[in-house]
Amino acid sequence: MNSMIKTILTIFAILLFLSGGIWFLQGINILPGSFMTGDPQWSINGGIAMIVGAGLFWFAKRK
């Protein structure tokens, strides 16, 4: 795979993982201040986003 594509995929994976973490924390009512706060659906969505982000990161970093 091209190194530029790997870099873009890595950046996307990190951003997806971080935003998933924010969604998860808002869903379990740790980060207040949003319509997502306290909604369990967002903790599920955030967990899925974190798993997908970690998988993309692994895929981009493998040889």
Query: Which tens digit of pLDDT belongs to each residue from 6-38?
Result: 999 999 999 999 999 999 999 999 988 888 888
Q: Provide the domain count of the chain.
A: 1
What is the spatial distance between Cα 23 and Cα 53, in angstroms, rounded to a whole number?
13
Find the mean pLDDT for residues 36-60.
94
- Least Cα distance to 48 among 30, 28, 15, 24 occurs for 24
CB-count burial class (<10 Å; 0-12, 13-18, 19+) for 27: buried
pLDDT at res. 7 = 94
pLDDT at res. 53 = 97
Q: What is the CA radius of gyration of the chain?
A: 14
Find the mean pLDDT for residues 30-50.
92
Q: Is the pLDDT of residue 63 over 80?
A: no
Boundaries of domain holding 9: 3-61
pLDDT at res. 1 = 65
